[in-house]
């Protein structure tokens, strides 16, 4: 009969030996790091690791163990690299960065561009962050806003990046990759949608409702109560309010903010179409300048990975081993590569932090591509 306790005792002895060998290996890892510090040699040698894994797998007694050997040693090698990255930082081996630290974001005598028209939530975000006296102008599309920065017509652009209810604004993630602009700040605006029409109109007159697609989705429960209304999507909630005002047709209504109703002189027909204390839109402040403030505490990056098993796990482990809190991860398909993706990550930290330097060093060496969009608060 099998003596389970005896088997467990033997496993415990083996685990003790594995622990001792692991500690010994990590000590040698430190010596390897010292060599790389002195010679400038890169930590990650992908070809060497591939060859070593091949040899170790061939020495396994069966196919199952070969897979286990590969997984085990991939993780051991990954842990060793992370320790080497830490040692490089501790020994003053600098991580190259194009970003410059400033005490305060320059906001005096600047021009700011936003998409939409006056009264839009982006207009509210612009004025909330920069103040009511800001020199601002609007453009039709988010791409136009990015072009305005690139052409030097504006110092900053204000763009929505995600809504707490509707999710990310995917097009602006793609624009961040396309343009060499940087996130320097953020502004969160609570979304409070109301139904508005021309003065003198009533709910019974409405036949068509205009708004942005996300606002229509957020008000779906209310709109479903009026199945005879035609819904028309426009580029912006404030554009919808502007159209209703200009058309002066009592059969038309718009879903937009209270500020839009006030700005365009429209009458609020129902202020209960959608309201939530938690429904907010996060806007990013984008600039050509690679700057971050001393008190910046949030970093946005994107990276691309080889289409191989375990690559995403190994990259995300850099946040775990450096005790960094990852607050968001999104993926977007790579247009030129079917079924491969670019990952967008937000995490807490400052570019001056050692932990951040360690993580970014590791990701830069192990990912196919890395882009730091900015460090902000």
The answer to whether 374 and 182 have CB atoms below 8 angstroms apart is yes
The answer to whether 112 and 136 have CB atoms below 8 angstroms apart is yes
Its sign, for the CA torsion 262, 266, 272, 278, is negative
The catalytically annotated residue of 130, 264, 283, 347 is 283
User: How many residues would you count in the chain?
Assistant: 377
Tokens of residue 216, six digits: 């229509």
Any bridge partners for residue 10, and if so which?
none
**Three-point CA angle 306, 308, 313, nearest 5°:** 90
The answer to whether 300 and 357 have CB atoms below 8 angstroms apart is no
Tokens of residue 333, six digits: 């398909």
CA distance 341 to 159: 23
Tokens of residue 138, six digits: 């609007």
Tokens of residue 103, six digits: 């005490």
Q: Which of 368, 345, 120, 366 is nearest to 234 (CA)?
A: 120
The catalytically annotated residue of 29, 281, 319, 373 is 281
Any bridge partners for residue 192, and if so which?
275
Is 281 one of the annotated active-site residues of the chain?
A: yes
CA distance 376 to 290: 11
CA distance 263 to 257: 10
CA distance 364 to 371: 9
> What percent helix, strand, coil does the chain show, rounded to 5?
40, 30, 30
| DSSP assigned state of 122 | H
Tokens of residue 106, six digits: 């320059």
CA distance 216 to 287: 31
Is 303 one of the annotated active-site residues of the chain?
A: no
Other CB atoms within 10 A of residue 39 CB: 8
CA distance 338 to 227: 40
Active site residues: 281, 283
């Amino acid at each position: 009969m099998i003596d389970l306790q005896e088997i467990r005792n033997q496993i415990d002895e083996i685990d003790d030996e594995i622990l001792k060998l692991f500690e010994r290996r990590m000590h040698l890892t430190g010596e390897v790091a010292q060599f790389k510090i002195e010679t400038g040699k890169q930590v990650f040698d992908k070809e060497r690791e591939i060859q070593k894994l091949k040899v170790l797998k061939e020495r396994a007694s069966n196919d199952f163990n070969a897979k286990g050997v590969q997984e085990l040693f991939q993780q051991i090698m990954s842990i060793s690299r992370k320790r080497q990255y830490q040692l490089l930082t501790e020994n003053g081996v600098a991580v190259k960065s194009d970003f410059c630290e400033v005490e305060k974001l320059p906001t005096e005598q600047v021009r700011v561009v936003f998409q939409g028209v006056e009264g839009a939530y982006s207009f509210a975000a612009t004025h909330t962050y920069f103040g009511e006296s800001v020199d601002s102008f609007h453009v039709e599309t988010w791409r136009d806003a990015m072009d305005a920065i690139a052409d030097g017509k504006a110092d900053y652009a204000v763009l929505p990046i995600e809504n707490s209810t509707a999710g990310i604004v995917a097009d602006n993630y793609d624009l961040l990759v396309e343009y060499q602009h940087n996130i320097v700040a953020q502004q969160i605006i609570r979304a409070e949608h109301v139904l508005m029409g021309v003065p003198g109109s009533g709910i019974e007159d409405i036949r068509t409702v205009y708004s942005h697609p996300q606002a229509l989705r957020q008000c779906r429960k209310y709109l479903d109560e009026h199945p005879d209304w035609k819904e028309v999507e426009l580029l912006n909630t404030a554009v919808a309010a502007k159209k209703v005002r200009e058309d002066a047709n009592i059969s038309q209504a718009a879903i937009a903010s209270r500020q839009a109703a006030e700005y365009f002189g429209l009458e609020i027909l129902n202020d209960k179409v959608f309201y939530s204390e938690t429904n907010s839109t996060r806007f990013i402040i984008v600039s050509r300048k690679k700057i971050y403030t001393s008190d910046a505490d949030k970093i946005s990056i994107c990276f691309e990975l080889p289409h191989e098993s375990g690559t995403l796990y190994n990259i995300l482990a850099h946040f775990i081993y450096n005790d960094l809190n990852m607050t968001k991860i999104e993926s977007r398909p790579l247009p030129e590569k079917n079924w491969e993706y670019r990952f967008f990550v937000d995490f807490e930290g400052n570019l001056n932090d050692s932990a951040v330097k360690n993580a970014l060093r590791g990701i830069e060496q192990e990912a196919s591509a890395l882009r730091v969009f900015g460090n902000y608060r």
